[in-house]
Structure 1
Amino acid sequence: MSDDDLDPITPEAALTYYLDARRYDLRDTTMRSHESRLRSFIDWLQDEGIQNMNDVDLRTVHAYRVYKREDNGDDDTCNDVTMQGQVSTVRRFLDHLVDIDAVPESLPERIRLPNVNGDGSDDTQLDSGRANAILDYLREYRYASAEHVTLLLMWRTSARRGGVRALDQEDFDADERALCFRHRPDTGTPLKNGDGGERDVSLSAHVAAVIEDYIDSPNRHDVTDDHGRSPLVTTEFGRPSVTTFQNWVYRLTRPCVIGEPCPHDYDPETCEFNTHDRASGCPSSVSPHAVRTGSITAHRDAGTPREVVSDRGDVSEKILEKHYDKASKRQRMRRRRDHLPEEI
């Protein structure tokens, strides 16, 4: 069947069809699991502007896997076990859509399930060398821009993109050089861990100075959001969406953007990823979650105590060690060395 023979159907309608078709095939617990996994897929399709399941192809499914592996909104990214379940359910979903001519017959069978191995954590991170190179470039060429402030705060405070998005101008205390992360679900900016995620985070003099310069510069638009609040980081339309923050990070972490040679031998003039809307496809670009992971690892390597990193980044020490701190065994040995007594 060619794409011209497909019958249009929206992602939402397709999900309704699938759940109805499987209502008597699956146990209640399995049904709830499928609905949760597919809701994530449907929401992502809609965020990507895909309004017709006829437009879903193998590249679409791959892009969704990248999103779940490296970003996943403000939730923890998928480990290999979770990813296998996600992709398996999406494949079954698409297989049922073949019956109503919504996707090509060959699509589900071409989707390969990821292998399960390792400890179930994700190793993607922005290393400190690249992070500092990008921040050096921003300081030189795009100083005190919204993108500069965003990446600087993500790197220096280990904050989630949702946390940075939630900041209002009044949450910056210039005198104390501090940021106040507050949970405000009623006005559109919840923190991932609710009230428990509220915290005050100290800033270095350099970081505080960049924020002050941003606030005082034309780079920051003097706007309010839909609830009358004044965001710290703005666009001309108000408070940036989480997708905007995500896209900024994808774009800035491409090596060519800061003048570095392409490690993949692509020509920047003709590279398909050298556009704003395709930046996430660059093999070297990383998500906001990878920035957070790299930041936490860099703080631990620099000797910041685990409990301090935990408090600043709003992550439990157990989760920090398993999912965020990606130090090697040798790096961990070197950290411990400074705390060993000479005589015992």
Structure 2
Amino acid sequence: MFIRRAIQRYLRRRRSDSTDSSVEAWKYRLKLFREWCYGIDLKRVGELRGLDFDEYYEIRAGEVAPVTLEGEMWTLRMFVKYLEQIDAVERGLHESVRIPELDRDERASQEALDAEPALALIEYFRNSDRDRAKRNHAFLELAWYTGARQSGLRSLDLRDVNYRLDSDEQSWIEFHNRESTGPRLKNGVRGERPVGIPDETARVISEYVRDYRMDTHDDEGRQPLLSTREGRPAEATVRTWSYNATLPCLHGACPHGKEKETCEWTDYHKASKCPSSRSPHPIRTGSITWQLNIGIPPEVVAERVNATVSTIEDHYDWASDEERWQRYRDRLGKRREYVERLDSDWSNHDDDK
């Protein structure tokens, strides 16, 4: 089987259980591998050997960052494993695809939106007569207080917000995988969950819906919570909102020495050029780190953001050593009751003698 055809077959297989963005990422990574193979006159999957994967690893390691290399090699390994399943290559060949071992600093995103600027931005929006409850504000409140992926934010409909303002109950957002009408959640039905939000966030969303949301439907007749004139926003549109919502000059002086009135980065379509503005993923990373730092248990954060504890620790938790030790001390204090119970059990043991 030709490598090109095998890749096409593999991607068709994965489309049924993966998001479009994931498939596109795999397509690009495997395209690079295919081009390298053709460059050394390797055309068929049956010709692939462990030495080929090792050669490709060494070449890519000299061209890309370690975390990028890790993603490319995992994609390649899963592709080769699929080839084994359809008997296109020998069994066990996927084990020849080397995966780099990265430390925490190499793996974690260093572009996370830190809690200090994030909360300063939210404070600005909440107190602003001009910008409160407009789309950028609503987006940032949702992104920060849910820690959701971009696909999750895009998937939200009006009906997914449950307001419980001025009551003893908590307001919450529901993430549903409506795959037949899209967008699909990254983990499909396993990504479905309710996520509690603070009252002020719920109040902002309510004001946004009442005063600023564009009353439109998407192509499937659904009413997206975050809407555009055409209906549901494209991924690129959400990224643009994100960059504009996180411009540092909204809440203070420019950290890059520019004047707000003349800075070209304040243009709607150029906000991504600002070194301090952030796309949705770094907001998610910063939110997760912040939730952990304020004492929410890792397993609770994992459930809220639809990730495993190990994934959070490896990819999203960008806390400093001091912040991490402070968490440990806080947890130790909360667990004092359990430690005292250990001592109590020993005393009971002595009494039984």
Give the aligned partner of residue 42 of structure 2.
25
User: How far, CA to CA, are the matches of 1:27 and 1:294 in structure 2?
Assistant: 44
Which residue of the partner structure matches residue 149 of structure 1?
138
Offset of residue 119 of structure 1:
3.8
Q: How does 1:116-131 map to 2 (within 5 A)?
A: 118-131=105-118
Q: What do residues 131-155 of structure 1 show as CA deviations (whole Å, max 9, x unaligned)?
A: 1111122221311112111110110
The CA distance in 1 between the partners of 2:257 and 2:123, in whole Å, is: 24
Alpha-carbon offset, residue 299 of structure 1: 0.5
1:187/1:123 CA distance change after superposition, 3 Å: same
Gaps of 5+ in 1: 1-11, 34-64, 70-77, 87-115
Instruction: Pick the aligned partner of 2:241 from 248, 251, 255.
Output: 248
State the distance in 2 between where 1:193 and 1:18 align: 30
1:205-251 per-residue CA deviation (whole Å, 9 max, x = no partner) reads: 1111112222222x111111000001111122211111111111112
The Cα of 1:84 is off from its aligned counterpart by 8.7
CA contact (8 A) 1:79 1:122 kept: no
* 2:151 counterpart of 1:162: yes
Which residue of 2 is the match for residue 294 of structure 1? 286
One-letter identity of the residue aligned with 1:242: E
Distance, in Å, in 2 between the alignment partners of 1:301 and 1:324 is 12
Whole-angstrom distance in 2 between the partners of 1:215 and 1:120: 38
- d(CA) in 1 for partners of 2:67, 2:38: 29
After superposition, the C-alpha distances for 1:19-43 in whole angstroms (9 at most, x for unaligned) are 896493366479xx9xxxxxxxxxx
Distance change in 2, residues 1:85/1:20 (3 Å):
closer
Q: Is the 8 A contact 1:307 1:317 kept in 2?
A: yes
What percent identity do the matched residue pairs reach? 37
User: What is the distance in 2 between the residues matched to 1:298 and 1:275?
Assistant: 29
Give the Cα–Cα distance (whole angstroms) in 1 for the partners of residues 265 and 281 of structure 2.
20
**2 CA distance for matches of 1:191 and 1:221?**
23
How far does residue 287 in structure 1 lie from its aligned partner after superposition?
Answer: 1.5
- Unmatched 5+ residue regions in structure 2? 1-27, 54-63, 75-101, 165-169, 344-353
CA spacing shift, 1:323–1:20, aligned 2, 3 Å? closer
Please say if 1:133 is aligned against 2:120: yes
The one-letter code sitting in structure 2 at the alignment partner of 1:274 is T
Q: Secondary structure at the match of 1:273?
A: helix
Over residues 84-131 of structure 1, what are the superposed CA-to-partner deviations in whole Å (9 max), with x where a residue is unaligned?
Answer: 989xxxxxxxxxxxxxxxxxxxxxxxxxxxxx9844222221111101
Q: Which residue of 1 aligns with 2:99?
A: none
1:43-65 deviations in whole A, cap 9, x for unaligned?
xxxxxxxxxxxxxxxxxxxxxx9
Cα separation, 1, equivalents of 2:243 and 2:118? 13
Residue 313 of structure 1: CA displacement? 0.4
Q: Which residue of 1 aligns with 2:172?
A: 178
Is structure 2 residue 227 aligned with structure 1 residue 234?
yes
1:196 is the counterpart of 2:190? yes
Contact 1:179 1:203 in 2 (8 A): yes
4+ runs deviating over 6 angstroms? 83-86
Q: Please report the TM-score for the alignment, with normalisation by the length of structure 1.
A: 0.67
How many angstroms apart in 2 are the aligned matches of 1:193 and 1:288?
A: 18
TM-score (norm 2): 0.65
CA distance change for structure 1 residues 27 and 260 in 2, over 3 Å: closer, same or farther? farther
Quote the residue 2:69 is aligned against.
Answer: 81
Q: Which moved more, 1:311-320 or 1:228-237?
A: 228-237
- Specify the code of the residue in structure 2 equivalent to 1:276: Y
> Greater share of helix residues, 1 or 2?
2
Give the superposition deviation at 1:271: 3.5
Q: What is the 5 A alignment of 1:1-344?
A: 22=39, 24-25=41-42, 28=45, 79-82=67-70, 118-139=105-126, 140=128, 141-175=130-164, 177-217=171-211, 219-256=212-249, 258-340=250-332, 341=336
Kindly state the Cα deviation for residue 300 of structure 1 after the two structures are TM-superposed.
Answer: 0.5
Deviation at 1:338, TM superposition (A): 2.2
Q: Which segment drifts farther, 334-343 or 305-314?
A: 334-343
Q: In the TM superposition, what is the alpha-carbon distance from 1:272 to its structure 2 partner? A: 3.8
**C-alpha separation in 1, matches of 2:251 and 2:197:** 29
- Count of aligned pairs: 256
Q: Distance in 1 between matches of 2:286 and 2:153?
A: 17
Shift of 1:260: 2.1
Aligned to 2:88: none
